[in-house]
Structure 1
Amino acid sequence: MAEIVAHHRELLAERDAHAPVAHPDHATNTGISNTKLAMWLFLASECLLFGGLITTYLLYKHPLPGSGPGPHDVFDIPFTSASSFVLLMSSLTMVLAVSAIERGDHHRLRVWLVGTALLGATFIAGQVYEFTVFYNEGLGYTTSRFSSAFYTLTGFHGVHVTVGIIMLVSLVLLSLRGRLPEHRSETVEIVGLYWHFVDVVWILIFAVVYLIP
């Protein structure tokens, strides 16, 4: 009987040795992992960056007389509103992606990640089209202080969205290679934090640049 028990213990030990082991990041005094804390600190610094860019735009949003077209001469509010709606919908698909990996549903995880990336790419395509139209109407980057502040603010945001798309595609590739198991769901959650941040920032930019007179 003792030999059977000992053999059973050996089998259990061998099974545990070959089982995948999660390696979560060490928790901090705040109760969250180091990686997530680093992302929150990074986003805090990004708030300062966009705060400075928005303040600069507010100071220079009124072009000097004869310095080129102004905001209401070139803005297409309905088009930008539709583009903004597309970006905001990507926050929903990002939430669904995080929920999918927490359930261990890797197929839906990839579906929602690809959907989020496509929605973000659609927003970027709309922004490129908008910039092209503005340039053809005589609003270049150095046309006026308004145009410089506008292109810098919205362009920086576009770069952030593009970086987010690259991160999403990287997650899809990791999932396809089997390197994104359930115990690494925090990786998807951290990318989701970044993605939600750029969406929230765009709501503020859209209100300040396009809606407030």
Structure 2
Amino acid sequence: MMATVPLQHATQEGEWRLPSRGMVAMAGLITAESSIFLIFVVAYLYYLGRDVQGPTPREVLEIPYFGTVCLLSSSGFIMLAERAIEHGKIAAFRLWWGVTILLAAIFLGDTGLEWRKLIVHDHLTIHTNLFGTCFYSLVGLHASHVIVGMLMMLVTMVFALTGHLRAEHSYRVKVLALYWHFVDAVWVVVFTVVYVVGR
């Protein structure tokens, strides 16, 4: 006779639960945004080298090492902030969260300086040629996502500074941090396409 195991005992250890609405929503947002970025990346690569007039990427683009290091390292600091709030260390959370915001601001400042040089000195605007149109569209799309992420982090920092953010909110912080990791990962793709392959 075959032995049977009661269903409740079989599923006790590996019980399946519905994923949280926040994580599902963020996964949906990231999937949709990835599709948008993919379209812009493909357009950039498709039109690369098809200009009949300059300037070309090789003539005007400089690799933004400093801004890139700042942005990518911010993912490490936001992970430290996540860990801190999980353990209820609000002071440490504020510190690492603040460092993340600062690094994001430095990256945006570096992007602004790059654009100023390209527009004022190299006379590359969104209307100059196909390269200008694709460059400002792709890099500008990423910069807009950095700005959105920064605004969300600033709101979170306000809650942390006013005492409204506690350890029980750590899951919401994780969901927001996931967006920031996405922004950093997208920059790796944009950086490779624009400053390595496209140059």
Q: 1:71 aligns with which of 57, 63, 66?
A: 57
Which of the two has higher C-alpha Rg? 1
Cα deviations by residue, 1:6-36 (Å, 9 ceiling, x for unpaired): xxxxxxxxxxxxxxxxxxxxxxx76421011
Aligned length: 182
Q: 1:141 to 1:182 in 2, by over 3 A?
A: same
Give unmatched runs, 5+ long, in structure 2: 1-15
Q: Percent identity?
A: 34
Aligned to 2:98: 114
Aligned residues of 1:88 and 1:199 also touching (Cα < 8 A): yes
Contact 1:63 1:144 in 2 (8 A): no
Q: Name 1:211's counterpart in structure 2.
A: 196
Q: Does 1:175 align with 2:160?
A: yes
Give the TM-score, by structure 2 length.
0.88
The one of 69, 72, 78 equivalent to 1:85 is 69
Spell out the pairing of 1:51-66 with structure 2 (5 A cutoff).
51-65=38-52
Give distance in 2, aligned partners of 1:85 and 1:115.
13
Aligned-residue RMSD, C-alpha: 1.2
Structure 2 counterparts to residues 28-177 of structure 1, below 5 A: 31-65=18-52, 67-77=53-63, 80-136=64-120, 137-177=122-162
- How far residue 183 of structure 1 moved from its aligned partner, in angstroms, is 1.1
What TM-score do the two structures reach when normalised by structure 1? 0.83
Offset at residue 175 of structure 1 (A): 1.2
Question: CA–CA distance in 2 between the matches of 1:156 and 1:87?
Answer: 15
| One-letter amino acid of the structure 2 residue matched with residue 53 of structure 1 | F
Contact 1:63–1:70, Cα closer than 8 Å, also in 2: no
Once the two structures are superposed, residues 134-168 of structure 1 have per-residue CA deviations (whole angstroms, 9 ceiling, x without a partner) of 11211111000111011000001001001111111
Contact residue 68 and residue 138 of structure 1 kept, 8 A: no
CA distance in structure 2 between the aligned counterparts of 1:170 and 1:183, rounded to whole angstroms? 17
| Aligned mates of 1:108, 1:64 — CA distance in 2 | 51
The list of structure 1 runs, each at least 4 consecutive aligned residues, that deviate by more than 4 angstroms after superposition, is: none
CA distance in 2, matches of 1:38, 1:140: 36
The structure with higher relative contact order (CA 8 Å, sep 6+) is: 2
Opposite residue 59 of structure 2, the aligned amino acid is D
